[in-house]
């Protein structure tokens, strides 16, 4: 079992709709959760991070965390063609020496 699992996609969503990206992780001690966006040929860039159970909203993006279910998701409202990219889920343990583990990413395509 991979430590951080994501559906590779591609996930195709019509423009203006809500895109829902999901991620599960195996380490119950994980404390920090990140979503990165990576455009083709570019480097990953951080979109959001979340530490506490529940929802965290930032503009059109909402991260949701459920530690009991070991599940984290990213919702993108009013999807735009510019949101088409690969989204990487990343998880980090509690200690400062813990490394961040990345999922393999979900490819999202927003169709006009």
Partner 1 sequence: DAGVIQSPRHEVTEMGQEVTLRCKPISGHNSLFWYRQTMMRGLELLIYFNNNVPIDDSGMPEDRFSAKMPNASFSTLKIQPSEPRDSAVYFCASSPSGGAADTQYFGPGTRLTVL
**Site for partner 1, rule CB under 8 A:** 31-32, 34, 42-46, 49, 51, 88, 92-105
Q: How far apart are CA 20 and CA 97, in angstroms?
A: 31
Cα 102 to the center of its chain, rounded Å: 10
Structural tokens at position 35: 């979503």
Min dist CB 92 to partner 1, Å, is: 6
Min dist CB 39 to partner 1, Å, is: 12
Phi first, then psi: what are they for 104, rounded to 5°?
-80, -10
Please, which residue, 13 or 36, has the CB nearer to partner 1?
A: 36
Please, which residue, 4 or 79, has the CB nearer to partner 1?
A: 4
Please, which residue, 5 or 71, has the CB nearer to partner 1?
A: 5
Min dist CB 78 to partner 1, Å, is: 25
Helix/strand/coil for 102: strand
Rounded to a whole number of angstroms, the distance between the first and last alpha carbons of the chain is: 36
């Amino acid at each position: 079992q991979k430590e951080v699992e994501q559906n590779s996609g591609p996930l195709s969503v019509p423009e203006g709709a809500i895109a829902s990206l999901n991620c599960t992780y195996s380490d119950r001690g994980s404390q920090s959760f990140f979503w990165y966006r990576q455009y083709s040929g570019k480097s990953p860039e951080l979109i959001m991070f979340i530490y506490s159970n529940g929802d965290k909203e930032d503009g059109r993006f909402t991260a949701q965390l459920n530690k009991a279910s070991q599940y984290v998701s990213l919702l993108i409202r009013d999807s735009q063609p510019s949101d088409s990219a690969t989204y990487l889920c990343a998880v980090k343990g509690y200690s400062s020496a813990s490394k961040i583990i990345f999922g393999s990413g979900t490819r999202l395509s927003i169709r006009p």
